[in-house]
Structure 1
Amino acid sequence: MTTPVLIWFRHDLRLADHAALAAALEPGGKVLPVFVLDDEAAGEHRYGAASRWWLKQSLAALAGSLAARGAPLLLAKGRAETILPALADATGALAIHAGRGVEPWARAQSRRVHEALADAGRTLQLHTTVLLREPHGFASGSGKPYAVYTPFAKAMLAAGEPGAPLPAPPRIPGLEQPAGGESLDRIGLYPVPGEPDWAAGFAQHWQPGEAGAQARLARFAAGALAGYDETRNQPGIEGSSGLSPHLRWGEVSPRQVWHAARAGAKGSGVETFLKEILWREFAYHLLWHRPEMPERCLRPTYENFPWEPDARLLAAWQRGRTGYPIVDAGMRQLWRSGWMHNRVRMVTASLLVKHLLQPWRDGAAWFWDTLLDADLASNSASWQWVAGCGTDAAPYFRVFNPVLQGEKFDPDGTYVRRWVPELAKLPAAFIHRPWEAPEGILAAAGVRLGQAYPRPIVDAGEGRARALAALAAMRPDGAVAAA
């Protein structure tokens, strides 16, 4: 008689192209699918509010798919190293299959689960479910981890195309669930039933779950992918894939995305898009080899950068009240939809850390709480890139001008008009610099600067000069030079 097996879902909430699920089904016995919400293990990197909204919807979708195939999902809350061995003991399972976690807390969690299972003669078998290649097995010619994206991407491409994705199993023979499972409403995700639904607007923009991921991937592959290299920087149109939340929660695998892109179109747009998938891989590569990345600068000299923390400036940025329309549009898009266009992410982040001299960790923390695609590897690597303190980063002296960025990538103001409606009636010539508009034009557009819409929180030229002065004040050893 075949021994039962547990399949532990982590950040891979799908059935297709799931190596751990395929391995769990291979012996032919019954399977118990499990998801454990382990906030204690995640610590300060526990899922943010927006992430918890998405996770709740995604788990509901996964549970429905599993139940339809014969194996209902068991939900649990608590320490994984306690819950999983107890479930293995209750069911008689000798093995647990799961995807490998890359985050430092997830790696530590895996070790604890492995040790707890080993004490009872059971095993934890980890598989590749969220990446194209595991970072611990991919190194440069010298045997060292990659620190720069371009050689990393070249090596990934030289290693060959990813294998074909696995199909979803048509049937999953399920075990009878032992007692102790939690309901989705009681597991501790948001919004809480009976309380105001602050995330009500998210559902207008997203369909969490594997079916939603596949629908979005198909739409992108058949549409915007072909011109991706031209349209990806234009926030006023749907020129990007919008797949980042689905990839973050593993509702679609990067291997599925890769093959769909290859089959969907030809030309430079496809190659540019695949480089974005490789950037995601690179961020995980960095996090695996530099687990301090979410907290510490990868370039140690920046640890003593002369930031000027100011709660008032941070709050204005968070609320989309900086006086720079492209930045404010991005921050309001984030708040209302749980997502922000990638080009605008760079511009908003640059304004915070360069013009306003606010610590990059404060920006990363806000994104972590408000992004539906909040991913520890990509979030940390991207903020360090903008702040100039990563191993492969934009130089700190590269300062995005928010006005010029808006005029270049949102020339007619479509993006700004959607998310900053108080400026919607301004002519395109002034939509990104309303403070320069004549009083008659402002009045005709119903814009009251300093009241309904703020004046710039800092002059762009002065902010850039202050940022460069702060950089110059930092000595090579990381200390700040005397004034």
Structure 2
Amino acid sequence: MGKIALHWFRHGLRLHDNTPLQKAIAGCTSLIPLYILDTEYFKPGKVGINRMGFLLDSLKALDTDLRAIGSRLYVAKGDPEEVIGKFIKEHKIGAVSFERDTEPYNKVMDGKIINLTKELNVEAFPLWGHTMFDPEYLLALNNGDAPLTMTSFLRLMSEAGDPPKPIDPPKSLPPPPADSLVCKDVFIFQGVPTLSDLTEYEFNPKDYTTWFVAGEKEGIRVMNEFLAQKRRVSTFEKPKTDPTALQPDTTALSPYITRGSLSSRTFYHGLKDTLKGMKSSKPPVSLKGQLYWREMAYLIGFSVPNFNQMEGNPICKQIPWLTGDDAKALLDKWEMGQTGFPAVDAVMNQLRTEGWMHHLARHLVACFLTRGDLWVTWELGRDVFEKHLVDADWSINNFSWHWLSCSAFFHQYFRCYSPIAFFKKTDPNGNYIKKHVPILAKFPDKYIYEPWTAPKGIQIACACIIGKDYPKPMVEHQFVCQENKSRMKKAYDTSKKRDSGEPPAKKLKQNNLSKYRTK
């Protein structure tokens, strides 16, 4: 009897550039490709329908690709350590491969699986594949620390050089054992589950509305289609893209890279080949720069303790954000697109219905929730993004919320996005708002960003009375923005005194924002 191997698909839901998979199939006569729906990681209420639906569609596409080369995907549900342990014992698994991860929860799980294979005397191949580089290698190059600025990270990249070239997908795979669908005390789906199969989530499949098509083939197709536009690729500068475009003005590859349907190394080397001999924009604003931002976020998330929270986080400013029930009430209106600011509400509606929005749109709504207007802790906003985004990414999400709340990385807290003026630069007619806040679609362009200023007669003619059919603004932006800048200055001054060894000032009070809200 030949060796049976198990490959645990995790982030890398693909066949190309999958080193752990290639290690698993070397010398084995039978392979079990396994995905585990971790019931601790994917909790009901914490993951939205578009994020989960896109994941399931990615698994379905992977299963199709596996069947084309003589295999299939098994999907189990439960704790990965328990599931893999039971598979090893029942099927006499001789080798286990999987892609290592940088998130704290998954780092702990990595250790559990590695220890499990040692205890059971099973060969293990825990290898890196979701980042361009092995993060431990980058930390070693930088004296054990992650760079906290892009300037220093670019110096590190110049020393690291190009990431490894991606490896080709296997042309065939050893077949799974005949009885691999059976494993005692393990819940295994009869095929790839659908949203309706996940009864504990109480999803209504009709609410799955993202326009992204999942899978490795689609991710590669979108990448190749984009790279074929050589002038666009060479001149790309992310800050100059349009957040209000009705079709994506960026690569729209983030869901594929996040789910691992497309390897970041494949995209990197595809860019390099496309730009060979061409004059092009430079990092950090170029497309290569976007991959560097991603790699930097992963390295920081991998090495900084408590990176997903303010408390106990050594690089995060300690700011007295609004928390508790008052924050939750504000958060709910923000999440459901009921702030009364059409630009903000349009972005949040797009987030919930499409599971995606432009990075500058993310900037607008994150600033509005935190330091700009509502003064709600960034941790709550981060959770909402994580729930709905089809490209939800622990490292990038936490990095971005640190940045946009001016808790770390970016400290110009006096620069705030205006929920009224910001989108006018690219969309003076408000077409983005008319699409994503359709109740305002009949308003004249003059009033589309400030519908509460429209005369009552116009509101009646547009069949939308402000304060009845669409909410009045939650806050007076100009007033609370200035108040919050003062709060940020006090928090920064307190931080400076603490860092210099002086006695910290008396803890700042969380002032009630209710007096600023429009009744």
* Structure 1 and Structure 2 fold alike (TM over 0.5): yes
Structure 1 window deviating more from structure 2 (12-21 vs 85-94): it is: 85-94
Residue 163 of structure 1, CA deviation? 3.1
Corresponding residue number in structure 2 for 1:284:
298
> Is 1:235 matched up with 2:235?
no
Residue 260 of structure 1, CA deviation? 2.6
SS in 2 for 1:94: strand
- What do the CA deviations read for 1:58-111 (whole angstroms, capped 9, x no partner)? 111111211221122222222222222332233333221111111111111111
Distance 1:403 1:339 in 2: 21
Q: How does 1:79-94 map to 2 (within 5 A)?
A: 79-94=79-94
> What amino acid maps onto 1:358 in structure 2?
V
> Is 1:480 matched up with 2:507?
yes
Corresponding residue number in structure 1 for 2:104:
104
Corresponding residue number in structure 1 for 2:254:
244
Corresponding residue number in structure 2 for 1:220:
226
Residue 377 of structure 1, CA deviation? 0.8
> Is 1:341 matched up with 2:349?
no
Distance 1:151 1:398 in 2: 24
Distance 1:310 1:203 in 2: 28
Residue 334 of structure 1, CA deviation? 0.8
Q: How does 1:4-403 map to 2 (within 5 A)?
A: 4-27=4-27, 29-40=29-40, 47-139=47-139, 141-176=142-177, 177-178=179-180, 179-180=182-183, 182-184=187-189, 190-192=195-197, 198=204, 200=206, 202=208, 205-223=211-229, 225-226=233-234, 228-229=236-237, 232-236=241-245, 237-264=247-274, 268=280, 272-296=286-310, 298=313, 302-307=317-322, 309-354=326-371, 355-390=373-408, 392-403=409-420
SS in 2 for 1:350: helix
Change (3 A) 1:356 1:85: same
Decide whether the 8 Å contact of 1:226 with 1:267 is kept in 2: yes
Q: How does 1:393-472 map to 2 (within 5 A)?
A: 393-439=410-456, 441-472=458-489
Change (3 A) 1:312 1:267: farther
Change (3 A) 1:372 1:306: closer
Distance 1:225 1:71 in 2: 37
Decide whether the 8 Å contact of 1:213 with 1:243 is kept in 2: yes
Change (3 A) 1:274 1:100: same
Change (3 A) 1:267 1:422: farther
Change (3 A) 1:302 1:97: same
- What do the CA deviations read for 1:191-249 (whole angstroms, capped 9, x no partner)? 44789854535455011111221222223323464553265233324211211111111
Change (3 A) 1:310 1:32: closer
Residue 267 of structure 1, CA deviation? 5.0
Change (3 A) 1:269 1:206: farther
Decide whether the 8 Å contact of 1:136 with 1:288 is kept in 2: no
> What amino acid maps onto 1:235 in structure 2?
T
> For structure 2, which runs of at least 5 residues remain unmatched after alignment?
499-503, 512-519
Structure 1 window deviating more from structure 2 (25-34 vs 322-331): it is: 25-34
Decide whether the 8 Å contact of 2:95 with 2:124 is kept in 1: yes
Matched residues, number: 482
Decide whether the 8 Å contact of 1:364 with 1:379 is kept in 2: yes
Distance 2:436 2:363 in 1: 17
Change (3 A) 1:364 1:60: same
Decide whether the 8 Å contact of 2:257 with 2:263 is kept in 1: yes
Decide whether the 8 Å contact of 1:6 with 1:97 is kept in 2: yes
> What amino acid maps onto 1:29 in structure 2?
T
Decide whether the 8 Å contact of 1:50 with 1:199 is kept in 2: no
Residue 340 of structure 1, CA deviation? 1.7
TM-score, reference length from structure 1? 0.90
SS in 2 for 1:279: helix
Decide whether the 8 Å contact of 2:347 with 2:357 is kept in 1: yes
Identical aligned residues as a percent: 26
- What do the CA deviations read for 1:155-181 (whole angstroms, capped 9, x no partner)? 224422233322211110123143126
Change (3 A) 1:212 1:353: same
Structure 1 window deviating more from structure 2 (66-75 vs 281-290): it is: 66-75
TM-score, reference length from structure 2? 0.84
Decide whether the 8 Å contact of 1:418 with 1:424 is kept in 2: yes
Decide whether the 8 Å contact of 1:12 with 1:251 is kept in 2: yes
